[in-house]
Amino acid sequence: MARRPTSTSAAPADEDKPARSLGPLAMIWRLGANYPRQVTLALLALLTTSSATIAIPMRFKAIVDQAFGTGARVDDIAHAFEGLLAIVLVLGAATAVRFYCVSWLGERVVADLREKVQANLLRLPPSFFEANSPKEISSRMTSDTSLIEVVVGTTVSIALRNAITGIGGTIYLFFLAPRLTLELLVVIPLVIVPIATFGRRLKSASRTSQDRIADVGAKVAEVLGAMRVVQSFNQEAREAGRFAEVVEQTFAAARRRIAIRAVMTATVMVLVFGSITLLLWQGALGVARGTISGGTIAAFVVTAGLVAGAFGALTEVYGELLRGAGAASRLNELLNEKPAIAPPARPMALPAPPRGRIAFEKVTFRYPARPDLPAIMDFSLSVEPGETVAIVGPSGAGKSTVFQLAQRFYDPQAGTIKLDGVPLASADPAEIRNRMALVPQEAVLFAANARDNLRYGNWEASDEAIWEAARAANAEAFLRELPEGLDTFLGENGSRLSGGQRQRVAIARALLRQAPILLLDEATSALDAESERLVQDALDRLMASRTTLVIAHRLATVRQADRIVVMDGGRIVEDGTHEALSRAGGLYARLAALQFDDRAVAAQ
């Protein structure tokens, strides 16, 4: 049974919830480790850029001491500046390499992750998708993977780069002026902590502000959508008041954000420029005493700026890594979800050639989401090769469940289902489904061309075979009229075809599959008489020579069936031919009168 992963149940607000530890990021590391060349190159480039960054203030020292001194020689000046240019060139080139490699790794890891998650999702049975809505999963595939991309492509790089710059810079500062550095190390947290705190507050205030703006949008849409009702109930004044309330809340949120920003700007300016002034002041005293050179002071100030910036960036990074770890752990759940229905270790082979016999023996089944309610109770039904059995019954009787179990999307809690004598639980689900063709109630078409939609399930089918199936499914005429024939794109879910045409494409697809068992869920949607006849005609051809289980909604189908099985409350309550059951005057007779058209009543 699919477990509902705890963080999957997250409401949208929890969507990018951070993790408590960085542990889940190990998964990203494992994915990245598949690309050792890029990782090595990225690390080398990272080391080079960080070293070049520290080398710049080193050069500054030389420049100020050698090139700005009175009476400096032209050669010395050239030498000092050439050195700086060389560093800048190395820094530029290494930055480009680092950016390329690190971003490449970010995108590559995300691409691999998306492919792996999708491959695992494709193995999971329907029960998983009942507990985890497709919308939720697709948001994980986009927003969570984007978070991972940011972690690999930016955050980790920022963390490493700033750690190297911060540590390297501090060592250099000690080398330049040990006493001044000790003083600086006391000052740096005093500068960074208030800035970081304000930064966090500003972020949360900005988020609130954005939420309020979204509220305004929602309110406008709500009122615009209900304008007639608002006006006819004379509620204009009330709606104006309610809207003003939301707008004022937005303004209040914006004011809070602006106030925080104003104070933050002042704090940053005072702290940063104040510290620089104090440093220079100390430095000037040193220069006056002759204990320190002007170049040293210049290098010190620039390096101190770099070190403070580096530690400042590191305080941001941890939060981002935790958010990335949260995303990684959510994706990990999708990646490691084990399919509840898996092939047995040694699957029993189904007899070849297939016979097409399917038998339910005392089957009882409850859906995982409704463990209290048996959808199928003590259900026994044997369908012989070539036989057509129509299943009818009121809504909720368990008809579709029979199909789900036949394809082994779920395992029953009691009883056995056998395909050509082999219990489904002992066979490979892929082999079972290979022997079945499904025509669902609503034809499902893909956003692809007609050819691919038709041969979905039998990719080897030649164009001749496709046209033959189309002919048998009464789909040939309209397919021939498509502007680019079989290459014509059919639109999202085949939106460029009519309902009846879509059904006939689905029938042709089932025909092409050449499976011995047909599971047919008749469409209930009304078609015009001509379409109905064409579809019915196609179905008749499809059912001939195959074992067919059909959830019937049409009189023509039940009339033609060898047997009709009437279901109610998960059990079979009647069994017989249309004539016999109509005469019996039981549930079938009542259903037939209601469900089928007037002719059904007339036929009684």
Ligand X SMILES: Nc1ncnc2c1ncn2[C@@H]1O[C@H](COP(=O)(O)OP(=O)(O)OP(=O)(O)O)[C@@H](O)[C@H]1O
Cβ-contact 502, 450 below 8 angstroms:
no
Is 519 one of the binding residues for ligand X (CB under 6 A)? no
The reply to whether omega before 353 is within 30° of 0 (cis) is yes
C-alpha 169/C-alpha 139 separation (Å) is: 42
Judged by DSSP in three states, 500 sits in helix
Distances (CA, A) of 218 to 45, 207, 459, 495: 48, 16, 47, 30
Binding of ligand X at residue 370 (CB under 6 A)?
Answer: yes
DSSP 449: B
b/e map of 278-312 (b: 16 or more CB within 10 Å)? ebeebbeebeeeeebbbbbbbbbbbbbbbbbbbbb
- Residue span binding ligand X (CB under 6 A) among the ranges 68-76, 267-275, 280-288, 389-397: 389-397
Which span (20-28, 231-239, 288-296, 368-376) binds ligand X, by CB under 6 A? 368-376
Q: Which residues ranging from 119 to 138 are in contact with ligand X (CB under 6 A)?
A: 130
CB 361, min distance to ligand X, A: 19
Closest separation in Å from C-beta 439 to ligand X: 15
- Asked if 476 interacts with ligand X (CB under 6 A), we say no
The pair of three-digit structure tokens given for residue 205, joined into one six-digit string: 């205030």
Q: Smallest gap, in angstroms, from Cβ of residue 451 to ligand X?
A: 31
In the complex with ligand X, the residue whose CB is nearer, 418 or 571, is 571
Cα–Cα distance between 246 and 216 in angstroms, integer?
Answer: 6
Binding to ligand X by CB under 6 A, coded x per residue (else -) over 163-202, reads: ----------------------------------------
341 binds ligand X (CB under 6 A): no
Number of residues forming the site for ligand X (CB under 6 A): 14
Smallest distance from the beta carbon of 2 to ligand X, in angstroms? 11
**Residue 411 binds to ligand X (criterion: CB under 6 A):** no
Task: Please tell me the distance from the alpha carbon of residue 252 to that of residue 476, in angstroms, as a whole number.
Answer: 65
Q: Token pair for residue 92?
A: 């530029």
The minimum distance between CB 591 and ligand X, in angstroms, equals: 11
CA distance 152 to 104: 9
Q: Which of residues 413-442 bind ligand X (CB under 6 A)?
A: none
395 forms part of the interface with ligand X (CB under 6 A): yes
Stretch that binds ligand X, among 245-253, 311-319, 369-377, 529-537 (CB under 6 A): 369-377
- Nearest distance from residue 443's CB to ligand X, in Å? 16
Residue 551 carries which side chain, given as an amino acid letter? I
* CA separation for the pair 498, 504 (Å, rounded): 10
Q: Which of 396, 415, 423, 586 binds ligand X (CB under 6 A)?
A: 396
Q: Is the dihedral of CA 88, 93, 99, 101 positive or negative?
A: negative
List of E strands, 50-140:
none
Region binding ligand X by CB under 6 A among candidate stretches 29-37, 101-109, 355-363, 364-372: 364-372
Which of 375, 443, 511, 600: binder of ligand X (CB under 6 A)? 375
Stretch that binds ligand X, among 169-177, 214-222, 232-240, 398-406 (CB under 6 A): 398-406
Q: How far is the C-alpha of 600 from the C-alpha of 595, rounded, in Å?
A: 8
Site for ligand X in 79-108 (CB under 6 A): none
Candidates 171, 220, 369, 477; binder of ligand X (CB under 6 A) is 369
Min separation Cβ 554 and ligand X, Å:
14
DSSP 565-588: EEEETTEEEEEE-HHHHHHHTSHH
CA distance 383 to 184: 86
367 binds ligand X (CB under 6 A): yes
Q: Is 400 in the site for ligand X (CB under 6 A)?
A: yes
346 contacts: CB under 8 Å, gap ≥ 6 = none
Residues that bind ligand X (CB under 6 A): 130, 367, 369-370, 373, 375, 393, 395-401
